[in-house]
Structure formats: structure tokens, C-alpha cells
Amino acid sequence: MTQPVVAELLAIALIVAICALAVVVIPLNRRGAPISTRNRPQQRHDDERYWYGGIIYANPDDPNLFVPKRLGLGWTLNFGHRRVWQSLFGLIAFLALSIVIGTVAGHQGR
């Protein structure tokens, strides 16, 4: 494969990954709860036992992938949720595969 072809394939893979991420993120409402959990009782995210070091949230009983940060503005991941770990593994695998493909294609083009 030539470098332009590899670059095009990586660009397409990146676009697909961004679209897949959008499919997960867009259905979230303002509080981070998926649409399917809107009728459930509101989950409290300030319980000390689920926060590690005040910055890492891990509650396997919380259905939300994203929860409000404890300090400041923004969101953090619920590391107790299985899908968070699957997504992180997928992202790392995608990045590693991109590096390997780019390296192999770069050496073949010489």
C-alpha cells in the first residue's frame, strides 16, 4: 500500500470512530443519563465511596457512562461501567493499529 492510500484509510477509520462515538454521546441528556434511563430515579453522584482521589468515579450500579465532575465544570467517565472500559480498549486498539499500519506502510514505501 502506498502512503496516500494508508492515509485515506486512516482518515476513513477516524471518521467512522467519531460517528460511533456520536451515536453513544448524542442520546445523553443534560445530566448524562441515557434516554432509556430518564424515568428511573435520579442517581446521586456525590457518594464518597464511589470517588477515588476525588477525581475518578467508579460505581458499577450507576447506569450512566458520564457523570458530572465533582469539582469544576464538565463530565467524567464512570469507570465502574463496563461500556467505558470497552470504549477505552477500542480507542487504544484503534490507535495502536493506526500506528502499526502507518509504520508498516511507511517501511514498504521505501
**8 A C-beta contact, residue 68 and residue 31:** yes
Q: What is the structure's pLDDT at 30?
A: 45
Q: Is the pLDDT of residue 54 over 90?
A: no
Q: d(Cα 22, Cα 45) in Å, to the nearest integer?
A: 24
Q: Is residue 41 part of a domain?
A: no
Q: Is the pLDDT of residue 31 over 60?
A: no
Higher pLDDT, 107 or 76: 76
Q: What is the structure's pLDDT at 29?
A: 44
Task: Give the number of domains in the chain.
Answer: 1
Cell of 91: 480507542
Q: Is residue 40 part of a domain?
A: no
- Which range marks the domain in which residue 100 is found? 3-29+48-108
Q: Is residue 64 part of a domain?
A: yes
**For the residues 6-34, what does the mean pLDDT come to?**
69
Q: Is the pLDDT of residue 97 over 80?
A: yes
DSSP label at residue 27: T
Q: What is the pTM of this model?
A: 0.60
Q: Is residue 43 part of a domain?
A: no
Q: What is the structure's pLDDT at 17?
A: 81
